[in-house]
Amino acid sequence: MTRVAYQGTAGAYSHLACARMFPNGEYLACDDFVGALELVSNGFADRAMIPLENSTAGRVEEIYRLIPATKLYAIAEHFEPVNHCLLVKPGVTLGSIKEVRSHPQALAQCHQRLINLGIRPAAAVDTALSAKLLAESSDSSVGAIASELAAELYGLDIAHENFQDVTGNTTRFLVFSQTQEHIQAIVGVKYITSLLFAVRNIPAALYKALGGFATNGVNMIKLESYMDGGTMEASHFHVDIHGHPNEPAVANALEELQYFAREMRILGSYPAHSYRQRTDFV
């Protein structure tokens, strides 16, 4: 049985993503992302399910600071459609709710809905924990934004399904492991490669470092910068590209990147999730 660590309380969206990707797994709730990654590093879990970004609220900032410090490998990606539910205590009507509690990302994704209803948002540590605490509370003027799974686990009513502002709201997760997978490319499989690098201190360093992707026809999906330790220099970068390092075009682009980069690390290559068929691959 695959043991999968995630950040949050039972019923969190990360828990839901674990259940979708590893339906026969054992799911280990952790207080924070560091704890989830450490369970894998220490061998107590086989995988960690970590949210990287959301189509509405953007990237999960903390993750981009944690990834460079981990020695784990990205072995898969997962896209989870988000169905935010406005949860209330049994028998409570939507009109009675004055305040809604949830994780800041969830509140951001339901911002306009809350404004339209005149409901005050209150930030909490976790979506599912908000649901759990609501179930234990006697305050009928408070609601929570969480998953349908959380409503089921904690015996709450769903006052409003699909409460998010934008239809199609989706969260992308990376799955981390101690060991690298997909080292060899399989013909016919479309891959994503995630890598980290820092540029050398030369003029137009980033432009030169990324030039190899263009000249070799490699599509760059994502470019994120992050701070290096305690400095204010945003000189480190996370890049996602289409392709596998075994492919000649990607190999040539990475060789060119290494020439201009001060350091480079391939975080992992993994098959592209079926969600990408909508837009990324033709």
Q: State how far the Cα of 123 lies from the Cα of 237, in Å rounded to an integer.
A: 30
- With 0-12 / 13-18 / 19 or more C-beta atoms within 10 angstroms meaning exposed / middle / buried, residue 33 is buried
- Structural domain including 256 reads 191-278
Judgement on whether residues 201 and 232 belong to the same structural domain of the protein: yes
Q: Which of 56, 2, 64 is nearest to 33 (CA)?
A: 64
Q: What is the reported pLDDT for 252? A: 96
With respect to residue 183, please indicate whether it lies within any of the assigned structural domains: no
Q: What is the reported pLDDT for 23? A: 95
Q: State how far the Cα of 24 lies from the Cα of 207, in Å rounded to an integer.
A: 45
Judgement on whether residues 59 and 91 belong to the same structural domain of the protein: no
With respect to residue 14, please indicate whether it lies within any of the assigned structural domains: yes
Judgement on whether residues 147 and 93 belong to the same structural domain of the protein: yes
Judgement on whether residues 75 and 109 belong to the same structural domain of the protein: no
Judgement on whether residues 112 and 50 belong to the same structural domain of the protein: no
Could you confirm whether 167 is annotated as catalytic? no
Note whether 2 and 46 are within 8 A (CB): yes
Cα 155 to its chain centre, rounded Å, is 27
Rounded to a whole number of angstroms, the distance between the first and last alpha carbons of the chain is 36
Q: What is the reported pLDDT for 250? A: 97
With respect to residue 184, please indicate whether it lies within any of the assigned structural domains: no
With respect to residue 136, please indicate whether it lies within any of the assigned structural domains: yes
With respect to residue 165, please indicate whether it lies within any of the assigned structural domains: no
Span 143-155, average pLDDT: 95
Judgement on whether residues 204 and 150 belong to the same structural domain of the protein: no
Q: What's the pLDDT tens digit per position in 237-280?
A: 999 999 999 999 999 999 999 988 888 999 999 999 999 876 55
Q: What is the reported pLDDT for 233? A: 57
Query: Is residue 8 over pLDDT 50?
Result: yes
Strands 170-177 and 73-81: antiparallel
Choosing from 22, 33, 163, 173, which is the catalytic residue?
173
Judgement on whether residues 59 and 128 belong to the same structural domain of the protein: no
Rg of the chain's alpha carbons, rounded to an integer? 21
- With 0-12 / 13-18 / 19 or more C-beta atoms within 10 angstroms meaning exposed / middle / buried, residue 83 is middle
Q: What's the pLDDT tens digit per position in 57-88?
A: 788 888 888 888 899 999 999 999 989 999 99
Going by C-beta distance under 8 Å and a sequence separation of 6 or more, which residues neighbour residue 192? 77, 221, 240, 241, 242, 269, 270, 271, 272, 276
Mean pLDDT over all residues of the chain?
91
Q: State how far the Cα of 8 lies from the Cα of 116, in Å rounded to an integer.
A: 29
Give me the CATH number covering residue 116: 3.40.190.10
- Say whether 117 sits in a helix, a strand or coil: helix
Query: Is residue 32 over pLDDT 60?
Result: yes
Residue 271 backbone dihedrals phi, psi, to 5 degrees: -60, 140
Choosing from 22, 171, 193, 197, which is the catalytic residue?
171
Could you confirm whether 171 is annotated as catalytic? yes
Q: What is the reported pLDDT for 130? A: 96
Judgement on whether residues 211 and 233 belong to the same structural domain of the protein: yes
Q: State how far the Cα of 154 lies from the Cα of 233, in Å rounded to an integer.
A: 45
Span 9-16, average pLDDT: 92
Q: What is the reported pLDDT for 226? A: 76
Q: How many domains does the chain have?
A: 3
Judgement on whether residues 71 and 111 belong to the same structural domain of the protein: no
With respect to residue 200, please indicate whether it lies within any of the assigned structural domains: yes
With respect to residue 182, please indicate whether it lies within any of the assigned structural domains: no
Judgement on whether residues 258 and 198 belong to the same structural domain of the protein: yes
Among the candidates 177, 212, 239, a domain finishes at: 177
Q: What is the reported pLDDT for 200? A: 77
Q: What is the reported pLDDT for 260? A: 86
Note whether 73 and 267 are within 8 A (CB): yes
Q: What's the pLDDT tens digit per position in 93-133?
A: 999 999 999 988 899 889 999 999 999 999 998 899 999 99
With respect to residue 137, please indicate whether it lies within any of the assigned structural domains: yes
Judgement on whether residues 70 and 90 belong to the same structural domain of the protein: no
Give me the CATH number covering residue 202: 3.30.70.260
Q: What's the pLDDT tens digit per position in 178-223?
A: 999 999 999 999 999 999 998 877 788 888 889 999 999 999 999 9
Residue that has been written with the tokens 């994780």 in this structure: 103
